[in-house]
Structure 1
Amino acid sequence: QGAQIVDVRQDRNGVSVTVEYVDGGNMRELRAEYLIAADGGHSKVRECLGIGYEGRGAFSNSVTIYFTADLSPWVGNNAWSVIYVNNPVLRGFFRLNRSAQAGFLAINTLGDPKLDPQAAANAAADVSEHRLIELVRAGVGNPDLAVRIDGHTRWHATANVAQEFQDKRIFIAGDAAHLMPPNGGFGGNTGIHDAHNLAWKLALVIRGHASANLLDSYAMERKPVARFTVEQAFSRYVARTAPWLESSQQPEALVDDLHIELGYLYNSPIGIHADPRTTLGIPGSRAPHVWLTRAGKRLSTIDLTGHFLLLAGAEGRSWVDAARGASERFGGLPLEAYCIGVDFDDAEGRFPQAYGISSSGASLVRPDGFVAWRCEQSAHDATGVLNDALSRSLGHHPVPAAA
């Protein structure tokens, strides 16, 4: 806090960051094995690496107005998360607190873009208090509404992805890796997904369980998903607030939110996304939810994740036995293994079908809850097969280069 990055350097053993303290201008060098550049859309780390953005660029000089006003007569008891406004004055959306007494109005466009596209896209041209009050009133549709302006923020509606997500020991994440319009609410979640993908890999490499090659899979897995998500946010922006851009920008077809938030896939032959209710445990998809019980306690298969996890069918004990030896082979790798139907009750008998295996098969789930591998049936050499699957999942086999 109170410091800024001025330089980043790396060598074969680690990363050095030079920071300057705002008060006094004193310099300090920090050293670590790896660096995660999660320093926002104006990332200094990304700039130092010479990594730019690619994509559609900025298409609106937008403004968010924070205000206090009683909008309960219009909202009532409706628990609306986002309220879109499209009228002759402005296009944007409201988000309000629970009592509808305060919130913000994000504005992307003013007036008629067909008459003056440049002026319409410059919603932040006038941020005087008088003008901001006028815009809130116009959004509500009441010229006499009592409004107090609490603040405002200028920002660019942008749809971009970083050209690279990794440079040796430095990883680009969050807004530093992808910028998207707020439509759909995907931005923050996509950054969390980046961290979710990277954190377990770094942890296992640093602890010696995994090869450093595993880290190369971060960019290979996350960049296609980020590009897909950014495009979906842009398609929602066009559909909801800027339909006149459709002919010139040709946005991608909208897909269901569930595909974006929970259905994105890693290195899957079926594509980058799918309905997560239909993927049936295919490698690269999220491990499916199935209700289980143990000692009278109900829990989900998802509750068992957070480390490597092997789930076998009721007749798959050989896989569980193999997992115990595999943990030792990889330096005490945290790995839990269970027979569903034996160690946990599957009263509805959903587990095998949900995970795409037979009662003698098994599924290996990564610490981030994604399926790394599965074998639909028993194997003659369960130990050898599982060791190979774990070896690949830990980067001990070369990771294919990103396209």
Structure 2
Amino acid sequence: MAREISSLCPPHAEIGEIRWCTSLAAHPLGKIDLLDDQARLEKVATFSPYHIAHIGQHQLMPVLWRWIESESLITFVKGAGLISLNQDEGGATVGVKHAHSGTTAYRADWLIGADGANSSVREMLGVSMEGPVLAHMASVFFSADLDSVLAKPRPLLSWIYNPDFCGVLIKHFDDHYILMSPFITQEQEMVRLGASYWSRMIPKVIGADVPFQIRTQGNWSMATQLAQVFRKGRVMLVGDAAHRFPHTGGFGLNSGVQDAQNLAWKLAAVQESRATESLLDSYEAERKPVVALFAEQSVSNHFKLDEVTNHLNITNRGLMSATKAFETAPIKWLPSKLKGRFADALMKLAFSKTRQLTETSARAHELRSRIAQAVPGQLEHFLSTGLEFGYAYSGGLVIPERSMQPKVGAGVVDYQPTTWPGCRLPHALISRGGVEIPLLYVIDKRKFSLITHDDVGWAQALLCLPLPYVSELVLIVAVPSKAEDRAELVSLFEVGEHGAILVRPDGHVAWRTTLPGMNAVGDLEQVVRKLTVSYRRKIASAVVA
């Protein structure tokens, strides 16, 4: 599946440029090229067996659907919607309405609500979202051949500022684009007129009259919100159903996948009677702080854009204030048409200074210069490798250390690979049966993996461990695919030649030691007991006996 998704993505040379401009055809006011730093690119390539993917939802969803349909363990029901949800101590029952064939009731031990920002599952649970709405957005999805306007590679993102339109244009590989702009109230033209409004605006954004086809359009609210709880009884919330971020940072899909990955091994352990239901309590405890951090960064990125646009008297903070004002008396009492005209006039006034961007005066030159100088400061908005790879868990399934997590700077832009407990095990290539394979691929999906360079020492240590604890572990010997890479692998693991790393089924480090196996066997026994005694029935009874 990863290979199929990668085949639909543009070459990396085409996804590096972020541009600020008056139209796509115009000379940029400022830009960030994510491909400029070759040393950084080479380093990022060592963090994962896969490269970053930029793919439109219209391309991704058919791929995911095909893979789901081909999985024999999944019953994939299409063309249906949730109409009821009830749960008891034994499971959950959902009522589903089919588009053409009535309704069906489904019974399951557990229910995962992965149904998006407007989650019906969350609503039926009575779980509220906590946090503010930052802006209301309108968007249009369209296709156009722009070769005559701007040669490839075209910018990945173009922040457009002109007297008629302010917003962002997102490019996809297949000549499809998403254009987004904020609005203050539903009565404004861009909401009321829909396709006719966008048909007027798209040529102004492109900067030329070229044929285009509108595919879809819609309105949505940009918010930073977390669900009050991520689990209620037999129901868990994941992805946008559990948390909403601004699009400024690109954490939405990634965080949803992380939610599912954190939950999967725990749910499997419960279903296979290897753990009690209390293990599932760790899902929210681990994920909520991480997504709160992502939300904080997304909001910071959103408002940091003001450093560029405040020179135009356009700011996201001002937009948020105006939006709140229109939802508050006395403005909200205005007749709908008057309120819409008022909002359109207000935004037109706010955009007026953008006229100077195309002028030739000294004042206009100074304005363009200030914008250009502010653009490089936006880097962490578009490059957040440190957060993407460096997020860490804490709590009962991680044995903490007194040291601080190693980070590069603030830990946002650049990633420091580390085996610090709670972090994801860094990517490394090892030899497995004479074949080079990513280390994360051999992590056991049910038990804790004990990773070491010292196979003899730790094999002896495990012989001294009580049997119930040994049954929880899988020993993995990390042998580099090339002998000359051994020193680099030892350095990456941060536990020396004879230490070991204990890794959870989801690939996150639970504990580590620099001690040789026979010196650390007592510590390992205590660690396994602490990690498992709260939810493993077999271990708990063995300890009591």
TM-score range with shorter-chain normalisation? 0.7 to 0.9
Alignment match, 1:156: 221
Distance 1:12 1:279, change over 3 A: same
Distance 1:285 1:324, change over 3 A: farther
Distance 2:477 2:143 in 1: 56
Match of 2:240 among 175, 183, 202: 175
Question: How many Å apart are 1:14 and its aligned residue?
Answer: 2.0
1:85-124 to 2 correspondences below 5 Å: 85-98=160-173, 100=175, 102-108=176-182, 118=184, 124=190
* Residue 152 of structure 2 is aligned to residue 77 of structure 1: yes
Alignment match, 2:249: 184
Task: State whether residues 54 and 163 of structure 1, in contact with CA within 8 Å, keep that contact through their aligned partners in structure 2.
Answer: yes
Distance 1:343 1:377 in 2: 25
* Residue 339 of structure 2 is aligned to residue 264 of structure 1: no
Alignment match, 2:204: 138
Percent identical pairs in the alignment equals: 28
Distance 1:166 1:282 in 2: 28
Distance 1:97 1:246 in 2: 29
Alignment match, 1:225: 290
Task: State whether residues 208 and 331 of structure 1, in contact with CA within 8 Å, keep that contact through their aligned partners in structure 2.
Answer: no
Alignment match, 1:4: 81
* Residue 378 of structure 2 is aligned to residue 378 of structure 1: no
Partner amino acid, structure 1, of 2:210: L
Question: How many Å apart are 1:198 and its aligned residue?
Answer: 0.4
Distance 1:260 1:90, change over 3 A: farther
Local SS of the residue matching 1:219: helix
Question: How many Å apart are 1:32 and its aligned residue?
Answer: 1.7
Task: State whether residues 457 and 518 of structure 2, in contact with CA within 8 Å, keep that contact through their aligned partners in structure 1.
Answer: no
Map Cα deviations across residues 192-241 of structure 1 (whole Å, 9 max, x no partner): 11001101111122112333222111001111111111222222233347
1:35-54 to 2 correspondences below 5 Å: 35-54=111-130
Local SS of the residue matching 1:218: helix
Distance 2:437 2:165 in 1: 48
Map Cα deviations across residues 28-53 of structure 1 (whole Å, 9 max, x no partner): 43222211111211222211221101
1:285-304 to 2 correspondences below 5 Å: 285-293=423-431, 297-304=435-442
Local SS of the residue matching 2:485: coil
Distance 2:189 2:483 in 1: 58
Task: State whether residues 302 and 316 of structure 2, in contact with CA within 8 Å, keep that contact through their aligned partners in structure 1.
Answer: no
Distance 1:228 1:3 in 2: 34
Unaligned runs of 5+ in 1: 110-117, 399-403
Alignment match, 1:202: 267
Moved more, 241-250 or 348-357: 241-250
Local SS of the residue matching 2:132: strand
Alignment match, 1:245: 316
Distance 2:156 2:300 in 1: 20
Higher relative helix content:
2
Question: How many Å apart are 1:357 and its aligned residue?
Answer: 0.9
Partner amino acid, structure 2, of 1:85: I
Distance 1:239 1:88, change over 3 A: farther
Distance 2:112 2:504 in 1: 21
Local SS of the residue matching 1:262: helix
Moved more, 10-19 or 197-206: 10-19
Distance 1:99 1:380, change over 3 A: closer
Task: State whether residues 130 and 225 of structure 2, in contact with CA within 8 Å, keep that contact through their aligned partners in structure 1.
Answer: yes
Give the alignment's TM-score, normalised by structure 1.
0.81
* Residue 165 of structure 2 is aligned to residue 165 of structure 1: no
Task: State whether residues 94 and 106 of structure 1, in contact with CA within 8 Å, keep that contact through their aligned partners in structure 2.
Answer: yes
Give 1 or 2 for the bigger CA radius of gyration.
2
Map Cα deviations across residues 55-85 of structure 1 (whole Å, 9 max, x no partner): 122x333222122322223442216433332
Question: How many Å apart are 1:132 and its aligned residue?
Answer: 0.9
Distance 1:377 1:122 in 2: 67
Local SS of the residue matching 2:496: coil
Task: State whether residues 246 and 298 of structure 2, in contact with CA within 8 Å, keep that contact through their aligned partners in structure 1.
Answer: yes
Local SS of the residue matching 2:264: helix
Task: State whether residues 318 and 382 of structure 1, in contact with CA within 8 Å, keep that contact through their aligned partners in structure 2.
Answer: no
Partner amino acid, structure 2, of 1:319: W
Question: How many Å apart are 1:135 and its aligned residue?
Answer: 1.4
Map Cα deviations across residues 84-134 of structure 1 (whole Å, 9 max, x no partner): 32333323222334353x32212235xxxxxxxx36996742344331111
* Residue 236 of structure 2 is aligned to residue 236 of structure 1: no
Task: State whether residues 480 and 489 of structure 2, in contact with CA within 8 Å, keep that contact through their aligned partners in structure 1.
Answer: no
Task: State whether residues 386 and 415 of structure 2, in contact with CA within 8 Å, keep that contact through their aligned partners in structure 1.
Answer: no
Moved more, 212-221 or 386-395: 386-395
Local SS of the residue matching 1:350: helix
Task: State whether residues 262 and 286 of structure 1, in contact with CA within 8 Å, keep that contact through their aligned partners in structure 2.
Answer: yes
Distance 1:391 1:212, change over 3 A: farther
Higher relative strand content:
1
Task: State whether residues 61 and 122 of structure 1, in contact with CA within 8 Å, keep that contact through their aligned partners in structure 2.
Answer: no
Distance 1:183 1:72, change over 3 A: farther
Task: State whether residues 289 and 301 of structure 1, in contact with CA within 8 Å, keep that contact through their aligned partners in structure 2.
Answer: yes
Distance 1:184 1:15, change over 3 A: same
Give the alignment's TM-score, normalised by structure 2.
0.62
Question: How many Å apart are 1:322 and its aligned residue?
Answer: 4.9
Question: How many Å apart are 1:363 and its aligned residue?
Answer: 0.2
Task: State whether residues 322 and 386 of structure 1, in contact with CA within 8 Å, keep that contact through their aligned partners in structure 2.
Answer: no
Distance 1:134 1:13 in 2: 56
Question: How many Å apart are 1:397 and its aligned residue?
Answer: 5.9
Corresponding pairs, count = 382
Alignment match, 1:329: 468
Task: State whether residues 379 and 385 of structure 1, in contact with CA within 8 Å, keep that contact through their aligned partners in structure 2.
Answer: no
Local SS of the residue matching 2:219: strand
Distance 1:373 1:15 in 2: 36
Alignment match, 1:351: 489
Distance 2:482 2:380 in 1: 40
The structure 1 segments of at least 4 consecutive aligned residues displaced by more than 6 Å after TM superposition are 247-250, 324-328
Alignment match, 1:319: 458
